[in-house]
């Protein structure tokens, strides 16, 4: 009896160590994901980009990064189901760490964009593999706590990115991100593979077959809805906060608003939102209810932002914090996606879904620019946030509740 008890304690410690390592990995991932948004203006000035071209060139580089995330999501997701979640964690972090080191040496906009594309491919593997590993290793009643910790600690990487960029120049900020990734590789050495995945590998079951998501109508709809519920998230971060200087100008702000400080306060809000969403889901035993309430909050905070004529710097920081809190259902949204699919497709789904949401910023940006050309930046933002949130709410209504769902099953 004592031996069994000691084994359970040992296993519990191993699981929580896995959660901590996954959280630290997501911390580095978020640092590297948002560092461009924070140093955009400073780095563009250094490489000679005219002020008038900074917004469009910023969208170009950010879209290249998001394109890399799309491609990487497919690559790492399939590899995660075929060869294991842990291998993806090692491979992805090695790639994005090397890319961020290279970013510190760029001298022109096109090289900048290409390296952010490569970094995006690497960044695509971290969250999906980590959430899949944690979800499959924890009990069904408590896995929400694990994914909550991963996300809430992880998003604080954006806070670190802001302060590092404030202390060092933009090139060194990229070097720091790459260096943290290489240190993380050492911590990953003791990470163990998911027991569910090991069990599936011993059976003659197709794993990581992307076509399975498209050959069954019900499965495809389930997958599509998982992607659509996250649409407003990256529009808030990638457009509303990242383009703070331009929105501030349109709102007659007395000073130029800082995208870097917007990212700082926005991600502090996201961290708090992730904790609240995770705890509320555990309390109500419903992830769908939590996401719905956060989607309503997203609309409310965006309206507050876009109607703030004469927006002061201090008020902008509060609004960025509140918008971040409103879209702080990231961990809950990714957990929902992970719980919707069987073990033989889980890594593929959990890795591709958040990256398709990030990548959806590309068509969102194009549509946003179309509306900007016709109605101006403020009206365009109103149209986009209402449109994207309406789509997200409809998609959420089509998914089944997945709280406490047994994940030990496969897709036929």
Query: Which pair of tokens denotes residue 130?
Result: 């980590």
CB 356 within 8 A of CB 219: no
The pLDDT, as a whole number, for residue 101 is: 93
The pLDDT, as a whole number, for residue 197 is: 59
Q: Is the pLDDT of residue 208 over 70?
A: no
Eight-state DSSP code of residue 168: S
The pLDDT, as a whole number, for residue 381 is: 97
Residue 7 pLDDT level (bands cut at 50, 70, 90): very low
* 222-245 pLDDT per residue, tens: 999 999 999 999 899 889 998 999
When comparing pLDDT for 15 and 118, which is higher?
118
Q: Is the pLDDT of residue 252 over 90?
A: yes
CA atoms of 235 and 266, how far apart (whole Å):
13
The pLDDT, as a whole number, for residue 196 is: 63
For 371, other C-beta atoms within 10 Å of its C-beta total: 17
CA atoms of 32 and 320, how far apart (whole Å):
20
The pLDDT, as a whole number, for residue 251 is: 95
Is pTM, for the whole model, over 0.75?
yes
Query: Which pair of tokens denotes residue 365?
Result: 């940006």
The pLDDT, as a whole number, for residue 10 is: 42
CA atoms of 24 and 70, how far apart (whole Å):
23
Nearest CA to 341 out of 77, 123, 120, 148 is that of 77
Say which residues have a Cβ less than 8 Å from residue 187's Cβ, sequence separation at least 6: 21, 24
Q: Is the pLDDT of residue 136 over 90?
A: no
Its sign, for the CA torsion 261, 264, 268, 274, is positive
CB 278 within 8 A of CB 144: yes
Angle at 396 between CA 131 and CA 155, to 5 degrees: 35
CB 177 within 8 A of CB 161: yes
Angle at 290 between CA 287 and CA 295, to 5 degrees: 125
DSSP string, 169-217: -HHHHHHHHHHHHHHHHHHGGGPPPPHHHHHHHTSS---S-GGGGTSSH
Q: What share of the chain is helix, strand, coil (3-state, %, to 5)?
A: 80, 0, 20
The pLDDT, as a whole number, for residue 4 is: 43
* 281-311 pLDDT per residue, tens: 889 989 999 999 999 999 999 999 999 999 9
Using left for φ > 0, alpha for ψ between -120 and 50, and beta otherwise, residue 205 falls in: beta
Across 13-17, 30-34, 72-76, 387-391, which has the greatest mean pLDDT? 387-391
- HEC per residue, 16-40: HHHHHHHHHHHHHHHHHHHHHHHHH
When pLDDT is averaged across residues 209-234 and rounded to a whole number, the result is: 89
Across 181-185, 238-242, 384-388, 398-402, which has the greatest mean pLDDT? 384-388
CB 251 within 8 A of CB 307: no
* 79-121 pLDDT per residue, tens: 877 877 777 778 888 899 999 999 999 999 999 999 999 999 9
Report percent pLDDT > 70 for the chain.
92
DSSP string, 98-150: HHHHHHTT--SHHHHHHHHHHHHHHHTTHHHHHHHHHHHHS-TTTHHHHHHHH
Q: What is the mean pLDDT of the chain?
A: 85
Residue 143 pLDDT level (bands cut at 50, 70, 90): confident
CA atoms of 382 and 399, how far apart (whole Å):
27
When pLDDT is averaged across residues 162-185 and rounded to a whole number, the result is: 91
Domains of the chain: 10-188+209-397 (1.20.1250.20)
């Amino acid at each position: 009896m004592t031996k069994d008890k000691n084994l359970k304690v040992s296993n519990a410690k191993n699981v929580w160590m896995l959660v901590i390592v996954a959280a630290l990995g997501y911390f580095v991932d978020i640092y590297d994901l948002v560092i461009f948004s924070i140093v955009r203006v400073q780095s563009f000035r250094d490489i000679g980009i005219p002020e008038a071209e900074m917004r469009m060139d910023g969208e170009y580089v950010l879209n290249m990064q998001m394109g890399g995330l799309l491609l990487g999501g497919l690559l790492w997701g399939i590899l995660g189901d075929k060869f294991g979640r842990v291998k993806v964690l090692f491979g992805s972090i090695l790639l994005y760490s090397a890319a961020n080191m290279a970013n510190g040496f760029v001298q022109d906009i096109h090289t900048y964009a290409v390296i952010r594309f490569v970094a995006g491919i690497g960044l695509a593997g971290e969250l999906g593999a980590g959430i899949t590993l944690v979800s499959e290793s924890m009990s069904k009643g408590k896995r929400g706590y694990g994914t909550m910790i991963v996300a809430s600690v992880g998003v604080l990487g954006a806070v670190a990115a802001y302060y590092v960029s404030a202390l060092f120049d933009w090139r060194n900020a990229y070097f720091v991100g790459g260096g943290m990734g290489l240190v993380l590789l050492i911590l990953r050495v003791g990470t163990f593979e998911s027991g569910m995945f090991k069990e599936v590998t011993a059976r003659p079951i197709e794993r990581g077959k992307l076509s399975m998501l498209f050959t069954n109508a019900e499965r495809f709809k389930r997958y599509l809805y998982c992607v659509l519920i996250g649409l407003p998230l990256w529009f808030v971060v990638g457009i509303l906060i990242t383009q703070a200087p331009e929105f501030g100008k349109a709102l007659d702000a007395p000073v130029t608003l800082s995208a870097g400080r917007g990212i700082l306060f926005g991600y502090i809000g996201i961290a708090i939102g992730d904790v609240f969403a995770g705890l509320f889901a555990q309390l109500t035993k419903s992830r769908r209810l939590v996401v719905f309430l956060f989607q309503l909050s997203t609309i409310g905070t965006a309206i507050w932002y876009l109607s703030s004529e004469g927006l002061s710097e201090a008020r902008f920081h509060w609004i960025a914090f509140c918008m971040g809190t409103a879209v702080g259902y990231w961990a809950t949204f990714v957990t929902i996606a992970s719980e919707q699919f069987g073990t033989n497709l889980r890594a593929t789904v959990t890795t591709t879904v958040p990256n398709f949401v990030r990548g959806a910023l590309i068509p969102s940006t194009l549509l946003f620019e179309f509306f900007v050309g016709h109605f101006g930046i403020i009206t365009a933002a109103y149209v986009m946030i209402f449109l994207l949130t309406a789509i997200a709410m409809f998609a959420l209504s089509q998914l089944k509740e997945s709280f406490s769902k047994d994940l030990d099953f496969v897709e036929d």
